[in-house]
């Protein structure tokens, strides 16, 4: 109805325009940007998005190729609980203290950098687990270059191992396996490699391309070699950034410290951040008053792939928010407050993620090429049967991708993965567990539950043919 008023046309006409696009809408419904443009066009109007105006000021110019220099890889450690993620991160931190920076007590600031004996650097995101990784990705942040997936050699490939693999694959991030706990008498690294092979993940020892190394996060055995493999893998990525420009990057975490004010850990991805710079991070801004590494040492400047905790922002931005440096403090402030205002206005947000009902419309619009599905089921047999049938529904126009499948209930992590990968979640004889339902509602993720295989296949088929009758 708002759009109708702005264009001065009857609201019924707007509704029927939407219906001709295959959308059943009510007059109070908010339309997404794409639909708005098409509908407005039908009435001879052009839509100008104010968000775009604000964000234009934040757009960075592309770097000239000659300004780019090699940068250190940024690595996330994932894996099943108790397989040794934290132990590995701690071991690497203690063994590779950058010379001259050994003072101070380690504080977990969400990320840290190490310099290896050969001088090469690696930055680690110190929030082990795929939840943090995927939550950041769901917010649009591309931070991780490479994932180390830890598997305990005295255990097996576990559900969270599989999840971690799916999360890394969905993000297109190369994996290096760390087969851990080899100091234990009952460790059997070959069994893990065999299990990986049966999942079509062939590690190098098994004639494949995926790097893996047997390690002990307790004794440190194999860890230097693991890190060498990480660097080798990173080399293939040819990671580059321009250090000689104003900084940008991503917020890793932020909190309010009683004595010092807001403390934000950020990861510089391009340029160099200096004390005194005016920073805009999400809906917050401020002048960088001080910078510290994770040992509390003062840092004067931070170049690409360097994590630092900064003081001076006027609030706590969210993990995954991007940050930029501005010449002008006022400009940074204005954008921050406009963002806050927009956020408030858009809190009744329009659908951002794909739903089964929407597929037909998106296909008709011609911009929908892949349907991502996360499939959870009660038994392996049904999961495999559904995977096969879903994949067979792929057509020339639209590819069905099962980005993660597993036996078990629908978890928070499934929903986050769906949010980060614009996927729908299909549960067969299983239900959402814990907070999964609430998060799905908040993130507007479509969860469909079935108990008859035939129904699940038919619904998907109908949706892809644009025939699914909308759920009212």
Residues that bind ligand GDP (CB under 6 A): 79, 81-87, 128, 180-181, 183-184, 216-218
User: Strand 74-79 and strand 121-125: pairing?
Assistant: parallel
Q: How far apart are CA 355 and CA 47, in angstroms?
A: 25
Tokens, residue 372 = 């991502």
Smallest separation, CB 79 to ligand GDP (Å): 6
Q: How far apart are CA 429 and CA 457, in angstroms?
A: 14
DSSP state of 205: G
Residue count (the chain): 472
Question: How many beta carbons lie within 10 A of that of residue 472, not counting itself?
Answer: 5
Of 218 and 461, CB closest to ligand GDP: 218
308's enclosing H/E stretch is: strand 306-313
Q: Is 287 annotated as a binding residue?
A: no
Smallest separation, CB 361 to ligand GDP (Å): 43
Smallest separation, CB 158 to ligand GDP (Å): 11
Angle among Cα 33, 38, 39 to the nearest 5 degrees reads 95
Question: Could you tell me which of 57, 7, 23 has the C-alpha nearest to residue 330?
Answer: 57
Q: How far apart are CA 297 and CA 209, in angstroms?
A: 40
Of 87 and 120, CB closest to ligand GDP: 87
Of 184 and 333, CB closest to ligand GDP: 184
Of 180 and 382, CB closest to ligand GDP: 180
Q: Based on C-alpha coordinates, what's the Rg of the chain? A: 24
Q: Is 140 annotated as a binding residue?
A: no
Of 216 and 264, CB closest to ligand GDP: 216
Q: Is 180 annotated as a binding residue?
A: yes
Q: Is 188 annotated as a binding residue?
A: no
Q: Is 249 annotated as a binding residue?
A: no
165 and 413 Cβ atoms separated by less than 8 Å: no
Is the sign of the CA dihedral 134, 268, 86, 438 positive or negative? negative
Q: Is 35 annotated as a binding residue?
A: no
Tokens, residue 102 = 């050994």
First to last CA, the chain: 19
Of 96 and 216, CB closest to ligand GDP: 216
Q: Is 439 annotated as a binding residue?
A: no
Q: Is 334 annotated as a binding residue?
A: no
The residues with which 447 forms a beta bridge, in sequence order, are: 425
Smallest separation, CB 186 to ligand GDP (Å): 10
Tokens, residue 395 = 């057509």
- Chain center to CA of 147: 12
450 and 427 Cβ atoms separated by less than 8 Å: yes
User: Strand 240-241 and strand 69-70: pairing?
Assistant: antiparallel
Smallest separation, CB 181 to ligand GDP (Å): 4
Of 216 and 306, CB closest to ligand GDP: 216
Smallest separation, CB 164 to ligand GDP (Å): 10
Of 84 and 270, CB closest to ligand GDP: 84
Q: How far apart are CA 199 and CA 162, in angstroms?
A: 9
Smallest separation, CB 76 to ligand GDP (Å): 13
Question: Could you tell me which of 267, 229, 227 has the C-alpha nearest to residue 112?
Answer: 267
Q: Is 183 annotated as a binding residue?
A: yes
Smallest separation, CB 97 to ligand GDP (Å): 19
Q: How far apart are CA 232 and CA 238, in angstroms?
A: 10
Of 35 and 216, CB closest to ligand GDP: 216
294 and 106 Cβ atoms separated by less than 8 Å: yes
Q: Is 181 annotated as a binding residue?
A: yes
Smallest separation, CB 77 to ligand GDP (Å): 8
Q: Is 182 annotated as a binding residue?
A: yes
Q: Is 85 annotated as a binding residue?
A: yes
Annotated binding site for GTP: 79-86, 126-130, 180-183
Annotated binding site: 79-86, 126-130, 180-183
């Amino acid at each position: 109805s708002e759009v109708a008023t702005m264009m001065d046309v009857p609201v019924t006409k707007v509704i029927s325009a939407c219906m001709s696009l295959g959308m059943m809408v009510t007059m109070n419904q908010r339309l997404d940007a794409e639909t708005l443009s098409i509908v407005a066009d039908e009435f001879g109007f052009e839509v100008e998005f104010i968000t775009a105006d604000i964000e234009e000021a934040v757009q960075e110019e592309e770097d000239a190729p000659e300004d780019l220099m090699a940068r250190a890889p940024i690595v996330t450690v994932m894996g099943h609980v108790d397989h040794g993620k934290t132990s590995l991160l701690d071991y690497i931190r203690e063994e590779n203290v950058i010379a001259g920076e050994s003072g101070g007590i380690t504080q977990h600031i969400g990320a840290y950098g190490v310099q290896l004996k050969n001088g090469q650097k690696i930055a680690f995101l110190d929030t082990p687990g795929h939840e943090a990784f995927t939550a950041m990705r769901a917010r649009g942040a591309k931070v991780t270059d490479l994932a180390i997936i830890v598997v305990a050699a005295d255990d097996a490939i576990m559900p969270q191992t599989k999840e971690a693999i799916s999360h890394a694959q969905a993000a297109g991030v190369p994996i290096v396996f760390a087969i851990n706990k080899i100091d234990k008498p009952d460790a059997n690294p070959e069994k893990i490699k065999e299990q990986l092979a049966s999942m079509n993940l062939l590690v190098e020892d098994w004639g494949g391309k995926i790097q893996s190394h047997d390690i002990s996060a307790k004794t440190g055995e194999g860890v230097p070699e693991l890190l060498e493999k990480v660097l080798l893998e990173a080399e293939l990525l040819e990671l580059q950034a321009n250090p000689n420009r104003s900084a940008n990057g991503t917020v890793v975490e932020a909190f309010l410290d009683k004595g010092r004010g807001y403390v934000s850990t950020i990861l510089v991805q391009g340029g160099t951040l200096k004390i005194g710079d005016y920073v805009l991070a999400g809906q917050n801004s401020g002048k960088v008053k001080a910078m510290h590494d994770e040992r509390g040492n003062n840092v004067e400047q931070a170049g690409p792939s360097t994590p630092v905790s900064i003081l001076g922002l006027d609030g706590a931005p969210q993990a995954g928010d991007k940050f930029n440096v501005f010449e002008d403090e006022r400009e940074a402030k204005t954008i921050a407050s406009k963002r806050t205002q927009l956020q408030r206005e858009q809190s009744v947000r329009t659908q951002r993620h794909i739903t089964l009902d929407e597929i037909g419309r998106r296909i008709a619009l011609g911009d929908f090429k892949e349907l991502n599905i996360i499939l959870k089921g009660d038994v392996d047999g049904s999961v495999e049967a559904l995977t096969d049938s879903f994949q067979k529904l792929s057509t020339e126009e639209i590819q069905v991708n099962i980005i993660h499948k597993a036996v078990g209930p629908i978890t928070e992590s499934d929903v986050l993965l769906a949010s980060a990968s614009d996927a729908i979640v299909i549960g067969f004889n299983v239900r959402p567990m814990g907070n999964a339902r609430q998060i799905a509602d908040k993130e507007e993720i479509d969860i469909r539950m079935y108990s008859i295989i035939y129904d699940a296949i038919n619904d998907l088929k109908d949706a892809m043919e644009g025939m699914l009758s909308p759920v009212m």
